[in-house]
Amino acid sequence: MGSLDDIRPEWRTLKRKWEHSFHPMCSYMGMFPASLPHYFIQKLTDEGDVVLDPFSGRGTAPLQACVDGRVGVGNDLNPMAYVLTRAKVDPPSAESVHQRIEDLRLDYDPPETEHVPEKVQMLYHDHTLAQLVYLKREFGLGENGIPADLRSLSQIDTFVTALLLGIMHGQSGQYLSVSMPNTFSMSEGYVSDYIEEEGLEPPRRDVFDKLETRLHTIYHDGEPAQRGHAVFGDARDLPETLADIDDVDGVDLIFTSPPYLKVLKYGLYNWIRLWFLDEEPDVVDDRLDDELDLEAYLEFMTETFAVADEVLDSEGGVAAFVIGDVDQGGETINLAKEVADEVVAPMDGFEVGRIVEDRVPDNEKVSRIWGETKGEATEIDRILIAHRGHVEVADDPDGLKTKSLPGRQQTLSSFD
């Protein structure tokens, strides 16, 4: 067994192709590569351990935990993040998703679409839009005059919804919309000017066909070895919400990247996907802790570490936080060090173990594509490792040696 000094940024040597095929289900701003949690999970936990991400985003850390045979638990307050995380940690069989898509196709009866906001209508061919409205209605996502309740979506419909979020807009034939970026939703005004200037016509795409194609790609590596849990809530409520989950009795590792300081607006920049989920972008943005100044951010981190203190195992529990440096008014703030000094060091429960530097190539940092609104993210992320008691660090874990993907290799051959 080694010590925290043996933690090195070796995750950078794992190529993207190595990832489990569920990971790229849908892009998400501020996401980290799966190799990063994989490294920490392998080094710091054993099979069957519980790995929690209180800010799970697209569900990278909890999914990776499940792929690595741990119980992955992801929590997020963004509805889109909840759907993606839940689909990944508790997937139905590929066969049952296929069956559901085919049943929906058989029952399809084109609905009216006049009530759909003009900004959404301009993105889709009439045929495609009618199918989207039909699916919203079938999934109870706001087409029946009743507000959507994402928690009550079935396991299969959550998975189909997650597949759909991934193909709602993009630039190639696999996407449903007029040609536009996949990573985020451009502003309504920008898209409408672009469509007019370029004389674009929305392509006629069949949603059921595109879902089937996507299902094949996403299920390439089969279901992860282990099941996990998704929670739709505020990270500060985790002590109560985790208590309701039967097979989670104490957390062994928290691996997370908390919200940035004044960088991303998850609601506004995902208005198209949120339309499908029947969520208002500004309501989502008001709910999330993504626009804090430094003082409020440190207060928020204090509350987050208090939660970590409550839920982590008291002996050997580790909290690893990926925190990017930020530029403010020309000055670079080493935010990880601020959190270590101001938040973690004064706590009785925790010790600051290490702060490991991770340089992120410019083109990988999603916040960079925002031009002048990209805010203050820089190319340096740091992983702040805080721990309780003695920590065991595996020298040469099997999962890192083989770089293989544990998991039941269930494929789609049964209905190819």
How many Å apart are CA 387 and CA 320, to the nearest integer? 8
CB of 216 to ligand SAM, least distance (A): 23
How many Å apart are CA 339 and CA 44, to the nearest integer? 22
Comparing CB distances to ligand SAM, the nearer of 30 and 317 is 30
Q: Which two tokens stand for residue 137?
A: 């209605």
CB of 322 to ligand SAM, least distance (A): 7
How many Å apart are CA 78 and CA 80, to the nearest integer? 5
Grouping H, G, I as helix, E, B as strand and the rest as coil, residue 307 is: helix
Q: Which two tokens stand for residue 182?
A: 């996949």
Write down the residue that tokens 């502003």 correspond to.
Answer: 187
Comparing CB distances to ligand SAM, the nearer of 78 and 158 is 78
CB of 261 to ligand SAM, least distance (A): 11
Comparing CB distances to ligand SAM, the nearer of 200 and 355 is 355
User: For residue 79, is it left (φ>0), alpha (ψ between -120 and 50) or beta?
Assistant: alpha
Comparing CB distances to ligand SAM, the nearer of 25 and 191 is 25
Q: Which two tokens stand for residue 351?
A: 């010790």
- Would you state the torsion angle of the CA atoms of residues 395, 401, 403, 406, taken in this order, to the nearest 10 degrees? -80
Query: Contact positions toward ligand SAM, by CB under 6 A?
Result: 28, 30-32, 55, 57-58, 60, 75-78, 81, 234-235, 257, 259-260, 266, 288-290
What is the rounded end-to-end Cα distance, in angstroms, of the chain? 46
CB of 306 to ligand SAM, least distance (A): 13
Comparing CB distances to ligand SAM, the nearer of 296 and 345 is 296
* CB contact set of 130 (below 8 Å; sequence gap of 6+): 110, 111, 113
How many Å apart are CA 298 and CA 293, to the nearest integer? 9
- Single out the residue of 371, 388, 410 nearest to residue 319, CA to CA: 388
Comparing CB distances to ligand SAM, the nearer of 28 and 40 is 28
Comparing CB distances to ligand SAM, the nearer of 143 and 290 is 290
CB of 307 to ligand SAM, least distance (A): 10
DSSP string, 107-153: H--PPP-TTS-HHHHTTS-HHHHHHHHHHHHHTTSSSSSS---GGGS
Comparing CB distances to ligand SAM, the nearer of 43 and 58 is 58
CB of 9 to ligand SAM, least distance (A): 17
Comparing CB distances to ligand SAM, the nearer of 322 and 340 is 322
How many Å apart are CA 303 and CA 259, to the nearest integer? 13
CB of 403 to ligand SAM, least distance (A): 20
CB of 100 to ligand SAM, least distance (A): 26
CB of 396 to ligand SAM, least distance (A): 26
How many Å apart are CA 37 and CA 40, to the nearest integer? 5
Q: Which two tokens stand for residue 379?
A: 């190319």
